[in-house]
Amino acid sequence: MRRHGELRAARANQPLRVAPNRLAGRVEFRHALADLGEVDALRQDLAAAVEQVDAQMSPWKPESDLVRLNRAPVDAWVDLPPEILEVLACAMDIHRQSAGAFDPCVGALVDAWGFGAVRDAPDAAAINSVRQAAPCTMRAGLEIDPAAGRARKRAPVQLDLCGIAKGYAVDRMVAVLQQHGVQHALAALDGELRAVGHQASGAPWAVALEAPDAGRRAVRGVIELQDLAVATSGDYRRYLEVGEARLAHTMDARRAAPVNNAVASVTVLARTCMEADAWATALLVAGPGEGLGLAQRRGLEALFLLRRPEGLVEMGLGRFGASCARPSLA
């Protein structure tokens, strides 16, 4: 039995793929597993963890716990599993810290603009209806009772957890890896990643930073991670073009409109991927001025890529500020 070296389904440098669904991810790890049966058990547990998050928090699944909460009458308590309550509590905290820049109470906006489960194109009547409705923030519109395992809406809000749930799913993958005794791993779901320990060589995990180019996948830089999570939010994967404006799929609850503020992408480092995911969303919504000030006040390590007439401009904070080209973040 090998005590060191890469083991990815018994072959080095081949990532272990999990969860063949909307949240499909991959894991690379360094650990001694007894046999391929143990690898299969790990794969199944990883898939189950991701699928549990999807089953609880997907706005596309009619039976999800999130949809149950959205459909519940105002002031009616809804029993919820501890996982979604943990995410809601984190969302509430970052909503408060970001002065409302992060606000999951944008489900109706997401649907109206064609980015949600209801329709695949903007609907003018639905957009106007949402804009004319009385605004309600997450802090005012939701009450969470973790001790009793429940939550209730205090106003007719519609929650969307897509700005935080994927990061939480990565954290759940890391928890599964640790339960199996894995001490060195890189877990990823699309643009959200979390590194645990280091590679077999002792070097930190190398992670590519994606260039914010629509229609293609390209690397802009590389960061090195050890016991850190990273998440990126941007305007280049799902968006609408209206005239010369690029409207991101991310919604600004305070403006009741899609993000349109010259920020191409924001990358954030944090202890957990859930926090990195939510803060990347918050800073994208906040924009270059407010967002940079917010990140500085909160001590966040973040990289902003801003669209300017002369091209992309980088603005980094924390370890990103030392070198935007290839920061070492071990």
> Does residue 299 fall inside a structural domain?
yes
**Any residues with CB less than 8 A from the CB of 268 and at least 6 apart, and which?**
230, 231, 232, 276, 279, 280, 283, 295, 300, 301, 302
Residue 12 has pLDDT above 90, yes or no: no
Beta strands 219-225 and 328-329 are parallel
- pLDDT (0 to 100) of residue 32: 54
Please state, as a whole number, how many other Cβ atoms lie within 10 Å of the Cβ of residue 189. 27
Residues 139 and 248 occupy one common structural domain: no
- Whether 273 and 193 have beta carbons less than 8 Å apart is answered as yes
Distance between first and last Cα of the chain: 29
- pLDDT (0 to 100) of residue 208: 87
Q: What are phi and psi for residue 326, nearest 5 degrees?
A: -150, 75
Residue 313 has pLDDT above 80, yes or no: yes
- pLDDT band, residue 239 (cuts 50/70/90): low
- Beta-ladder partners of 224: 206, 328
∠299-301-306 over CA atoms, to 5°?
A: 115
Residues 210 and 277 occupy one common structural domain: yes
Residues 123 and 228 occupy one common structural domain: no
Q: Which of 153, 175, 209 is the last residue of a domain?
A: 153
Q: How many helices (H) and strands (E) does the chain have?
A: 9, 18
Residues 281 and 215 occupy one common structural domain: yes
Rg for the chain (alpha carbons), in Å?
20
Mean pLDDT of 222-250: 81
> Does residue 273 fall inside a structural domain?
yes
Sign of the CA dihedral 244, 250, 251, 252?
negative
Residues 148 and 229 occupy one common structural domain: no
CATH of the domain at 103: 1.10.3980.10
Show the tokens assigned to 250: 């991310």
Query: CA-CA distance, 98 to 252, in Å (whole number)?
Result: 12
- Whether 118 and 137 have beta carbons less than 8 Å apart is answered as no
- Whether 64 and 58 have beta carbons less than 8 Å apart is answered as yes
- pLDDT band, residue 325 (cuts 50/70/90): very low
Q: Which of 153, 181, 215 is the last residue of a domain?
A: 153
- Beta-ladder partners of 302: 268
pLDDT, tens digit (0-9, with 9 covering 90-100), for 162-202: 999 999 999 999 999 999 999 899 999 988 999 999 988 88
Query: CA-CA distance, 173 to 214, in Å (whole number)?
Result: 29
> Does residue 165 fall inside a structural domain?
no
Residues 114 and 229 occupy one common structural domain: no
> Does residue 55 fall inside a structural domain?
no
Stretch (H or E) spanning 121: none
- pLDDT band, residue 219 (cuts 50/70/90): confident
Selected residue with higher pLDDT from 152 and 222: 152
Overall number of domains in the chain: 2
Q: Which of 125, 153, 181 is the last residue of a domain?
A: 153
CATH of the domain at 324: 3.10.520.10
Give the range of the structural domain holding residue 298, as residue numbers without chain letter.
198-329
Residues 204 and 314 occupy one common structural domain: yes
Residue 9 has pLDDT above 60, yes or no: no
Residues 308 and 205 occupy one common structural domain: yes
Show the tokens assigned to 272: 């957990």
Residues 231 and 315 occupy one common structural domain: yes
Q: What are phi and psi for residue 224, nearest 5 degrees?
A: -115, 125
pLDDT, tens digit (0-9, with 9 covering 90-100), for 126-174: 888 888 887 788 999 999 999 999 999 999 999 999 999 999 999 999 9
Nearest-CA neighbor of 234 among 217, 244, 248, 220? 248
